[in-house]
Amino acid sequence: MILDTQDEATIELVRAYVARLALPTDRLWVTTDRRRFESWLGRRVAASLGGAYAYHPRRQVHLVLINLRRIDLSQPKALEIVVAEELLHMRDYLDGDRRRHAKHGYDRIAYRVAALTGASLEEIRNCLVPPRRRPIRYLYACPACGLKVARRRRGTWSCGRCSPRFDPRFILRLVADDLDAVGQHAPEGADGP
């Protein structure tokens, strides 16, 4: 088992739940560093994840991420819940159950984590720090119909009203930059990615 972390509480919980779930440790890699997990996995993962489990078929290893930055450590069982849940995913994989979450915190996995850790469903649903959304900073407009679209990031988009597919004739033009700093607000319903 590779335990790529300096966090003693995480190490202790991983060892405890590996034993409770009777998991093999010869092909288990656990980290608290999202970048390290991404390098092991070979692709990026969302920063909003509290934890992640993946099986890497080429390397034939089980990869587990415990993202400490996203876990609400002010709650007493939060870290234990995330560790138990990710190792439960590994147990399911080994048992042949390849299903994923139906609705995080409300599905069969949440009930199993509750039974395993003794945590309430409310604790399971609230063990992560709420994600922070970027503020709306850019306002774009369609040159043809005048539709205004607010965006959180800069980019190149075409008007969905004028053409359902990307069309260079209807590329949205930047109208206002840094809306948040100016104190202006985007129009109602103009919330973009």
Q: Which of 135, 147, 138 is nearest to 171 (CA)?
A: 147
Reply yes or no on whether the pLDDT at 191 is more than 80.
Answer: no
pLDDT at res. 180: 58
Reply yes or no on whether the pLDDT at 92 is more than 80.
Answer: yes
For the chain, the average pLDDT equals 90
Reply yes or no on whether the pLDDT at 24 is more than 70.
Answer: yes
Residue type present at position 73: L
pLDDT at res. 178: 78
Q: What percent of the chain has pLDDT over 70?
A: 93
At 186, the pLDDT band (50, 70, 90 cuts) reads: very low
Q: How far apart (Å, rounded) are the C-alpha atoms in residues 90 and 96?
A: 10
Taking only the tens place, the pLDDT of each residue in 117-126 is: 999 999 999 9
Reply yes or no on whether the pLDDT at 15 is more than 90.
Answer: yes
Taking only the tens place, the pLDDT of each residue in 94-130 is: 999 988 888 888 899 999 999 999 999 999 999 998 8
Which conformational region is residue 83 in: left (phi greater than 0), alpha (psi within -120 to 50 degrees), or beta? alpha
pTM comes to: 0.74
Reply yes or no on whether the pLDDT at 76 is more than 60.
Answer: yes
**Sheet bearing 138-141, strands edge to edge:** 148-151, 138-141, 173-177
Reply yes or no on whether the pLDDT at 67 is more than 90.
Answer: yes
